[in-house]
Amino acid sequence: MSWLGKYSADKELMDNGPEISSMELPYNRELKKEIKKVSTGYIPRPLQAVIHSRLKRFNVLVCHRRFGKTLLVINETINKGIANQKHNPQYAYIAPTYKQAKMIAWEYIVDSTSEIPGVKVNKSELSVEILREGIKNSSGGWAKKPDKIKFMLLGAENPDSIRGIYLDGAVLDEYAQCDPVIWGEIVRPALADRKGWAIFIGTPKGQNHFYRRLEKADSLPETWFTAIYKASETGVLPQDELEDMMSDMEPEEIEQELECSFHAAVRGSYYGEALREMEDGDGDQIGYVPWNPRYPVDTHWDIGIGDSCGIVFRQKVHGIWHYIDYIESNGKGVDWFIKELERKPYSYGRHVWPHDGKNRDFITGQTRLEVVRELKPGWEWEVQTKQSVDDGIQAVRTRLKTSRFDAQKCARLLDCLKNYQREWDSKLMLFRNKPKHDWASHGADAFRYDALDDKDTKELKMRRDNLPRTANSDYNELEY
């Protein structure tokens, strides 16, 4: 079976056909067409051919390594783009990072479009365009103006850089490693006005947002297609090669990378095992944890300039740490976060910042702590002393044992904790003894600062309120 993309070069309307206004698409009428079939060079494997035939508007494909998923989605995207009758259709292939998108998919998309007439490659922007001729009607006007099909390679590490575009289709590759906001806040709205399609594809990485996306898709079979392809079942890899690979891999690697298990431990994860135990427990630690108005709410911040800021909301109730809320945003000023805190019904205790809250701004000369104290002088602001990351990680492991999380309001925080992991050294082929900085860092860092702070605001307040206001003494100055 050969995979053919159809390139339509429509020359003119039927000589006796009616004139079509510029608002109508001529493709819905009978046209004289010169159809040229061009091959992308892609010959799908049997399972890939099945997938092409079964795809719906929305899709989740969980595939083992070397299944051929990237080539599959690139050719699906090209074929849909060429068949798209809308004006200036555009498509996005999104990987966890821009660098990964280039490394994984760039050569595929360039090679697959090289034989298509009108192709224009822009390597600096990682985009490919296919220019389409316009169509004149019988009176010489435009029935279909010239346009272009655009394919873009993008990275999910900076979601705001993608915000605001429209899309006719999107591929989210290795979605388990992407910042989960990329779908709900960025891609899904971009598909709305043109009723675009989406394909989530990748291998598992624990029960994170990719797992939840698969579960939700399974519950909506009319609009979503889902499939899991395990190496032991597909026959894509020769059996001797598969056995040789498995002999050189850790058990959790085999389960995750080849057998597509969402239950395999995430290698390099700092807190994955502890959180899995919490989830597998009696449901008391992660579930519905409401705000208790009788206790103050402390906040712990991970602050950044030009980076995401995360804020953890906690209470201590009967000796148990309750995590009742979490907010995070990118590119917002401190004043924006203060307004968000003011909108919530909580009675606040302390607002605790990391040590760099005392850093002075080069232009204003003020510290960030001085700025917030001016904005909210009635609030209690603190800056932590600097402590090592290793001490903080150990504090988190201890804190998790005596904590409860609201599953809904702290969903993003829990995702960050699950995906917080050591940095992988691809040259030495081992994990470095330091955390990887990615989308999960902000929530994990905010919680690390929280875990290093054992102060109980209510206890502190009670102690202050109960201090004696007068001193009792037998001393009489007249006797001396």
Same domain, residue pair 329 and 420: yes
- Express each pLDDT in 144-183 by its tens digit: 788 999 999 999 988 888 899 999 999 999 999 999 999 9
pLDDT value at 138 more than 70: no
Residue 173, in any domain of the structure: yes
- Express each pLDDT in 198-217 by its tens digit: 999 999 988 889 999 999 99
Residue 299, in any domain of the structure: yes
Residue 399, in any domain of the structure: yes
- Express each pLDDT in 100-117 by its tens digit: 999 999 999 999 999 999
pLDDT value at 292 more than 80: yes
Same domain, residue pair 222 and 112: yes
Same domain, residue pair 135 and 14: yes
Same domain, residue pair 100 and 246: yes
Q: Using N-to-C axis directions, what is the helix angle for 389-400 and 441-451, rounded to 10°?
A: 80
CA distance 271 to 451: 13
User: Which is more confidently placed, 328 or 367?
Assistant: 328
Same domain, residue pair 291 and 188: no
Residue 291, in any domain of the structure: yes
Average pLDDT over residues 388-408: 95
Return the CATH number at 140.
3.40.50.300
Pick from 227, 258, 289: which residue ends a domain? 258
What pLDDT is recorded for position 371?
85
What pLDDT is recorded for position 245?
92
pLDDT value at 26 more than 90: no
CA distance 178 to 175: 5
Same domain, residue pair 227 and 313: no
Average pLDDT over residues 287-295: 95
Same domain, residue pair 208 and 235: yes
167 with 190: CB under 8 angstroms? yes
Same domain, residue pair 128 and 96: yes
What number of CA atoms fall less than 13 Å from residue 328's CA on the CB side? 27
Residue 470, in any domain of the structure: no
Pick from 258, 284, 306: which residue ends a domain? 258
- Express each pLDDT in 294-303 by its tens digit: 999 999 999 8
Average pLDDT over residues 39-55: 92
pLDDT value at 14 more than 50: no
Return the CATH number at 431.
3.30.420.280
Q: Which of 161, 446, 452 is nearest to 304 (CA)?
A: 446
Cα–Cα distances in angstroms (integers) from residue 216 to residues 58, 59, 248, 288, in the given order? 11, 11, 35, 20
In which domain, by residue range, is 423 found? 272-464
What pLDDT is recorded for position 1?
29
Residue 478, in any domain of the structure: no
Which three-class secondary structure state does DSSP give residue 50?
helix
93 with 175: CB under 8 angstroms? no
Same domain, residue pair 253 and 363: no
Domain count within the chain: 2
Same domain, residue pair 81 and 205: yes
| Sign of the torsion formed by the C-alpha atoms of 205, 206, 207 and 208 | negative
Which band of pLDDT confidence, cut at 50, 70 and 90, is reported for residue 475? Answer: low
pLDDT value at 67 more than 80: yes
CA distance 445 to 208: 18
Cut 0.75: pTM above it: no
169 beta partners: 91, 197
Residue 475, in any domain of the structure: no
CA distance 55 to 199: 9
Same domain, residue pair 74 and 203: yes
Same domain, residue pair 226 and 304: no
Cα–Cα distances in angstroms (integers) from residue 104 to residues 74, 206, 285, 383, 425, in the given order? 11, 22, 39, 43, 19
Strands 90-95 and 169-173 come out as parallel
Residue 61, in any domain of the structure: yes
Which band of pLDDT confidence, cut at 50, 70 and 90, is reported for residue 365? Answer: low
Pick from 258, 287, 309: which residue ends a domain? 258
pLDDT value at 304 more than 80: no
